[in-house]
C-alpha cells in the first residue's frame, strides 16, 4: 500500500491525549472507589464499636483499631496527594509531548494492509504484524491501536490526520485483526 502522510495538529493531539487520560482514569476509578468504600466501612465499624460498647470492654482492641483507622486515613491522604501529583506530572508530560511532536516538524507516515501495519518517517520505519496490537478502540473520528505496553504507547489517527477513506480502511482492517478494547 502507498504511504499515507500523517497531518499532525495541536488540536487533534490534545483531543487524542484527553481521550487517553479519560480511558486511564476509567480504569483506575473502580479501584479508587473500592479503597474509599472499604476505608469508610472500616471507619464506620470502628466508630460504632467505640460508641456502642462499654468503655472498659475490649480496650486493647479498640485502641489498636483506632490507631489502625488513623493510619489508614493518613495513607489515604498520602495516596490522594500522590495521585494529584501524578496527574499534574502526566498533564505536564502530555503538554511537552505535544509541543515536541509539533516542534520536530517531522513527516511521519503509515502504511497498512491485511498482514502488517507500518509506521515511519525519513529516519526510521517500523513494520508491525497485527498480532503486536492487543486491542483497538474508536472515538469520534479517530482510531486507537493499543500495543502490549501502556495506553500511552498506542497509535492514534483521526480522519483529519490520514483522510476519511484511509481511516475507514484502517478501522475495517483493525476490526478484522484486533479485538475491540472492552470497557466495563
pLDDT in tens, the chain (184 residues): 688 988 888 888 888 888 888 877 777 777 778 888 888 998 888 888 777 777 777 788 888 888 889 998 999 899 889 988 988 998 898 899 888 888 887 788 999 999 999 988 888 889 999 999 999 998 778 899 999 877 778 888 998 999 999 999 999 999 999 999 876 5
Residue 184: per-residue pLDDT: 56
Q: Report the alpha-carbon distance of residue 43 to residue 12 in Å, rounded.
A: 45
Residue 183 pLDDT: 66
Does residue 184 belong to any structural domain of this protein?
Answer: no
71 and 99 share one domain: yes
Whether 182 is covered by a domain: the verdict is no
Question: In terms of domains, do 85 and 16 share one?
Answer: yes
Asked whether residue 129 falls in the same domain as residue 93, the answer is no
In a domain, residue 18? The reply is yes
Position 14 scores a pLDDT of 86
Q: Does an H or E element contain 112, and which? A: strand 109-112
Residue 1, pLDDT score: 66
Q: Domain ends where: 104, 122, 140?
A: 104
164: Cα separation from own chain's centroid = 26
Domain shared by 66 and 126, yes or no: no
Domain boundary among 104, 125, 160: 104
138 and 54 housed in the same domain: no
**What pLDDT does 122 receive?**
82
Does residue 28 share a domain with residue 96? yes
- Confirm whether 131 is domain-assigned: yes
Do residue 86 and residue 122 come from a single domain?
Answer: no
Tell which of 104, 122, 147 closes a domain.
104
Predicted confidence at residue 94, as pLDDT, reads 87
- To the nearest 10 degrees (0 to 180), the angle between helices 10-52 and 59-104 is 180
Domain shared by 95 and 114, yes or no: no
Domain count across the chain: 2
CA dist list (Å): 55 to 4, 26, 61, 63, 106: 76, 44, 12, 11, 72
Same domain, 120 and 99: no
Question: Is residue 12 in a domain?
Answer: yes
Quote the CA–CA distance of 132 and 32 in Å, as a whole number: 30
Question: Is residue 145 within 8 Å of residue 178, measured between CB atoms?
Answer: yes
| Residue of 156, 135, 159, 157 whose CA lies nearest to 146 | 135
Same domain, yes or no: 19 and 97: yes
Quick one: 127 and 72 in the same domain?
no
Q: Give the per-residue pLDDT at 114.
A: 92
CATH number at residue 137: 2.30.29
Rounded Cα–Cα distance for residues 53 and 66 (Å): 14
Give the structural domain span for 29. 4-104
Residue 28 lies in a domain: yes
Amino acid at each position: 500500500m502507498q504511504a499515507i502522510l500523517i497531518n499532525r495538529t495541536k488540536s487533534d493531539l490534545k483531543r487524542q491525549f484527553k481521550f487517553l487520560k479519560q480511558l486511564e482514569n476509567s480504569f483506575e476509578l473502580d479501584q479508587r472507589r473500592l479503597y474509599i468504600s472499604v476505608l469508610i466501612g472500616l471507619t464506620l465499624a470502628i466508630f460504632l464499636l467505640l460508641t456502642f460498647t462499654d468503655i472498659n470492654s475490649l480496650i486493647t482492641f479498640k485502641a489498636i483499631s483506632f490507631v489502625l483507622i488513623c493510619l489508614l486515613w493518613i495513607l489515604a491522604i498520602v495516596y490522594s496527594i500522590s495521585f494529584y501529583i501524578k496527574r499534574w506530572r502526566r498533564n505536564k508530560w502530555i503538554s511537552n509531548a505535544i509541543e515536541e511532536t509539533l516542534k520536530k516538524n517531522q513527516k511521519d507516515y503509515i502504511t497498512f494492509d491485511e498482514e502488517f501495519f507500518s509506521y515511519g518517517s525519513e529516519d526510521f520505519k517500523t513494520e508491525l504484524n497485527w498480532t503486536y496490537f492487543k486491542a483497538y478502540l474508536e472515538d469520534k473520528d479517530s482510531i486507537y491501536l493499543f500495543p502490549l505496553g501502556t495506553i500511552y504507547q498506542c497509535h492514534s489517527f483521526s480522519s483529519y490526520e490520514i483522510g476519511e477513506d484511509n481511516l475507514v480502511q484502517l478501522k475495517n482492517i483493525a476490526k478484522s485483526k484486533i479485538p475491540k478494547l472492552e470497557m466495563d
